[in-house]
Structure 1
Amino acid sequence: MSDPAKPGRTVLIGAGRMGAALASGWLRKRGAVDPENLLIVDPGRNEHCKELVAKFGLKRVPELGPRMAKDVSTVVLAVKPQQFDELGPHLGEILPQDAAVISVIAGISIRRLKSALGDRPIVRAMPNTPAAIGKGITVAVASDAPAAVKRHAEKLLKVGGPVEWISDERHMGAVTALSGSGPAYVFFMVEAMAGAGFAEGLPRELAERLARETVIGAAALLAESSQSPAELRRAVTSPGGTTQAALDVLMTGLPDLMRNAVAAAERQSRRLGGDNGR
């Protein structure tokens, strides 16, 4: 098997928000991927793809053909789950047998990837959208992929933030539900906080700014502190104070709501995969 870390063509299939974020990170980090060796496979209709190609002068094609696939060493799959059934068998026919595959497709298990792509080295990963600014986190699983493939995959994935490896793929549904979908939960919480401030009489623009900056500041404090979230919460909660009054309300419902939300996302992840992620 060839070493995927050696120079060779890297192909990104799907240049939407996540795919474009990863590619931008590779090209910002010297040595991650040579622009001359990166091929974007995407119809090119979305703005993320257009900006990426224009900014870095990349080659883009609407689909990968057999001749272009001959010198591919690494393929990164960043398409929607619904597109994989048609794409997978095509790639299985044209990719070199030793080409490494890194999939960031939500819900598609390694077993299903191998069924379509054949016995190629495969890494399945789940980044989240803050990877676009290098502040995300990615969880990856590789089953029987060689160590060299795992090292190369980590090099490509860590441009978006830390990479955590798991050994049991069955946990990927929960990972998708927690960190993959998690940024949306935070954004929605900011919306809800701003709406609550507006309901109490604040001008809407001020309420939105206060909610936004409060969450940004709290996240920065969490990042800089060695204390746990629970310890930080207790440190700003005075017994009988205003924060305690609010938390008394949140604690009666928020933990159950969050558990139900994450469980629903995990179930949907398995449904998208079509084989329960096993």
Structure 2
Amino acid sequence: MTPQDFSFLRDFLRSQSGLDLADDKRYLVEARLTPIARRAGLADLTALINAIRTSADARLKYAVVEAMTTNESSFFRDRVPFENFRDVMVPRMLQARAARRELRIWCAAASTGQEPYSLALMVREDSRLNGWRVDILATDIAESVMERGKAGTYSQFEVQRGLPIQLLVKYFSQKGDVWELDPTIRRMVRWQKFNLLSSFAGLGRFDIVFCRNVLIYFDRQTKAEVLGRIAGILEPDGYLVLGAAETVVGLTDRFQPVPDKRGLYQIAAPGAQVVPIAPLAATMRSA
């Protein structure tokens, strides 16, 4: 692959998905795109890149984008965001949404579904939310991982990564060498293919947005644009959850961090500060 081909591929991926491909990722390109070239009947990566340049084959272009996306996920990943959901976000929403008893949550870049299903399990186990309508939207740019998420089937390795044993026993059934999530939990999550470079207008408004471990793959301008669009669909008192290695600092003034709550942000009001609330003990159903 020539430097010119790599440069073209970088621009293509950035324009299609926001992915900012670093110079040292040539090995990753070869590992992930060589199988795409073979399946398309193309001789090598050079032929694949030429096909992207000259062909109108949208399926081939999408296959390249999908192959280059990172789909790492696990149940209750990094624990802290889920503790903040239980101890900060839910108590505040119980107060602020008491009249309508509805809550909308968006999990962006949901991959194979462990994050939205972790939230769905928490909602099901939390008696404080009895009688509430909780809508969880899971989106991803990659159809193949979304199909896995919709199916709700996971390997032994995947259910051992972060999933408490009591929840595994209660909500999963072993079918051969995989574990299948209970349909009642799967139905709590709606799935939709979505590109974060697209307009957010059709998504509606949300009380909580989880957008974790995806901005790290974008360049500075794309990060700022995505954060701006999230601010546009988040309720004024809603919450944004970012990954441990992500921040809004230096990117946007639309958000400000919730003090002492890593990765948690709210809409910034001019001259105002987010006032932390004391964690409330979660009232959970027996697992």
- After TM superposition, the score normalised by the length of structure 1 is 0.27
Q: TM-score, normalised by structure 2?
A: 0.27
Q: Which of the pair is proportionally richer in strand?
A: 2
Greater helix fraction, Structure 1 or Structure 2? 1
